[in-house]
Amino acid sequence: MPRIRILPEILASQVAAGEVVERPASAVKELVENSIDAGAGEVLVEIRRGGAALLRVIDDGSGMSRDDALLSLERHATSKLAESADLAAIRTLGFRGEAVPSIASVSRFRLTTREPSAVAGTEITVEGGVMRDVREAGCAPGTTVEVRDLFFNVPARRKFLRAETTESAHIEHQLRLHALAAAGVRFRFRKDDREVFDLPGGMSRLDRVRWMTGTELGRELVELPLSHGNGVAVEGFILPANHARKGRRHQCVFLNGRPVEDGAISRGVAEGFRGGVADGLHPCAWLWIEMEPGLVDVNVHPAKREIRLHRPLELREVLSSAVREGLSRAEEARRPVAVPVRQSAPAMATPRAWPAVLPVQRQFDAIVEAPKETPVEIAAPKPLPFRYVGSLLERYAILESADGLVLLDPKAARERILYERWLQESSGSGVESQSLLVPLLLEPGPRELELALRHREDFARAGIEIEEFGAGTLRVGSMPDFLTSTDPRAFVTALVDELAAGQAPGARLAFERLARLLARKAALIEAPRPQEAMRLLEVLFRCELPYCAPDGRPTLTEYSLRELERRFSGGGAAGF
């Protein structure tokens, strides 16, 4: 067995960097947290090539003296902790003293800093953990950290970096979180010499949330009343239940100014909706929680993303109460005020305008009655071997066959029909699309935007034309012509969220998977009624695989007469 030895200092720092610096966004997070801790009123972040070629963080904070700047490059050197008791009262974002030396050990690193009262600043150059130069420098008060060629000396880590657009999206997401957490700080973000955003300092939290969600969703924000209880204060904003999404990427939680993730907090928010959110979906929320430092342990994760609450049930109760109160107030504000009117003679009925969007029934008729657009051509229609009997809980159609009882799942059947239609039309001349009268503008978030644009050609094959429309905005120009009754905003938003939740970062998207997701989302929004079973079956049996949905779920389930007789006879011989 090899002998135990102490790791060299540089190797130890590189090992630590593997925990602290997972990707360029991790380095940005650590450096921006240091800037906020230093009291910065303005933070500028510049990146090139997804942060792998260059990361530069400039702040106007307190800066450092020469001695402190040199100490900051030593492992476990920090100004934020003095003794073990301080771990129970952490109010700063950083505290371990690992980030700066870890980043410097895996990059070409330059630190320039000056205290406001000092005449000259200090510039330190480090390459792969080896100090190259220390000298005086003329610079503005504050600190500038420049990180070039991240992981240049750790090729195994560098090859795991994703595409530049993916890494840039992670950095932008991280900066958006810090911009929400520290609304008083001006944040600027430049990517490849192009300014992505410039948020002035002193904005209210509401204004920053509206900036993140976009104007239309911003109008629907529900403000939560400031709630106190058991050493906890909570305030923030939520969106109504119909905007709940897959995954928790749209839940931004800040505990004592720190972006965190915690299951108890998410459950508390969901409980406040009292069952109004479907299973598998999570409400959109932006929460600021202030808590006595002794009630939370922030030192349980290398990247400080996760926390451990000492009294999670009490926090859940405060959160659910705040959400219920906020939703109740919003509902009360929307309730119309009754105004007495004078009785008058009945007026003549006026003709009603035809709705701008086709109802589900007309859209379903169009699919059923258009033989040229059916998923699979057949020589001649055959009589259906079923008779419609009724419906079960308005969810399943009950059918009678020559062999017994059959249950039809209309939603699964519709998924199969739409799936094969997308595959068939996309492999030919392409899915026919209908241009939206007014193009739809979405602000899905940096990671979701990057994923959608990366698969722009696949969306076009499916009849959905998308393009970038300014920083952070997605423009939707058309939808498939056979989905005219779909709300395009809800449909595309849910689709992109679903893709982001299940797609590995940087992976290519198979069109078949996109078609499956499209079919499932369309069927959820426009599920046919069981009473339409016979007309639905006519189309279903023209499909190549009519007996299962695209994900393998059955469309039809049969209970033979022999099985039914066996059940009713108690397992003995059939008969009465």
Task: Spell out a b/e string for 511-536, using b for 16 or more CB atoms within 10 Å of the CB, else e.
Answer: beebbbbbbbbbbeebbbebebbebb
Read off the pLDDT of residues 26-36 as tens digits, 9 standing for 90 and up.
Answer: 999 999 999 99
Query: What tokens does 28 get?
Result: 């940005």
Residue 336 confidence class, pLDDT cut points 50, 70, 90: low
Cite the residue boundaries of each domain of the chain with CATH code 3.30.230.10.
Answer: 207-332
pLDDT the model gives residue 178: 93
Tell the CATH topology of 9-203. Answer: Heat Shock Protein 90 (3.30.565)
Average model confidence (pLDDT) across the chain: 80
Smallest Cα–Cα separation from 390: which of 233, 241, 185, 531?
531
What is the mean predicted confidence (pLDDT) over 429-443? Answer: 77
Residue 208 and residue 179 in contact, taking contact as beta carbons nearer than 8 Å: yes
Residue 361 confidence class, pLDDT cut points 50, 70, 90: very low
Read off the pLDDT of residues 380-393 as tens digits, 9 standing for 90 and up.
Answer: 455 677 778 777 87
Read off the pLDDT of residues 492-542 as tens digits, 9 standing for 90 and up.
Answer: 887 787 777 665 555 555 677 778 878 877 777 666 777 777 888 888 888
User: What is the distance in angstroms between the CA of the first residue and the CA of the last residue of the chain?
Assistant: 78
Helices 446-454 and 488-502, packing angle to 10 deg: 90
Of 18-22, 138-142, 414-418, where does mean pLDDT reach its minimum? 18-22
Instruction: Output 485 or 223, whichever has higher pLDDT.
Output: 223
Tell the CATH topology of 207-332. Answer: Ribosomal Protein S5; domain 2 (3.30.230)
Helices 410-427 and 533-540, packing angle to 10 deg: 30
Q: What are the residues facing 441 on neighbouring strands?
A: 475
Query: What tokens does 272 get?
Result: 């406040």
Helical H runs in 347-445?
360-368, 410-427
Smallest Cα–Cα separation from 496: which of 541, 448, 450?
448
The sheet with strand 251-255 has its strands ordered as 222-229, 232-238, 285-291, 251-255, 258-260
pLDDT at 346 over 50: no
Phi, psi (degrees; rounded to nearest 5) at 20: -85, -40
Burial of 502 (0-12, 13-18, 19+ CB in 10 A): exposed
Tell the CATH topology of 361-560. Answer: Ribosomal Protein S8; Chain: A, domain 1 (3.30.1370)
Instruction: Output 315 or 365, whichever has higher pLDDT.
Output: 315
DSSP state letters, 39-80:
T-SEEEEEEEGGGTSEEEEEE-S----HHHHHHTTSTT--SS
Say how far apart CA 401 and CA 385 lie, in whole Å. 6
DSSP state letters, 119-170:
SSEEEEEEETTEEEEEEEE---SEEEEEEESTTTT-HHHHTT---HHHHHHH
Torsion of CA 376, 378, 381, 384, to 10 degrees: -50
Cite the residue boundaries of each domain of the chain with CATH code 3.30.1370.100.
Answer: 361-560
Count CB neighbours of 381 within 10 A: 10
Say how far apart CA 187 and CA 195 lie, in whole Å. 11
Read off the pLDDT of residues 178-237 as tens digits, 9 standing for 90 and up.
Answer: 999 998 999 999 999 899 899 998 888 998 998 888 777 888 899 998 888 777 899 999
The sheet with strand 465-468 has its strands ordered as 433-442, 474-480, 465-468
Listed in sequence order, the residues at least 6 apart from 531 whose beta carbon sits closer than 8 Å to its beta carbon are 388, 391, 397
Of 46-50, 366-370, 452-456, where does mean pLDDT reach its minimum? 366-370
pLDDT the model gives residue 43: 96
Say how far apart CA 353 and CA 482 lie, in whole Å. 22
Of 22-36, 405-419, 421-435, where does mean pLDDT reach its minimum? 421-435
Instruction: Output 352 or 210, whichever has higher pLDDT.
Output: 210
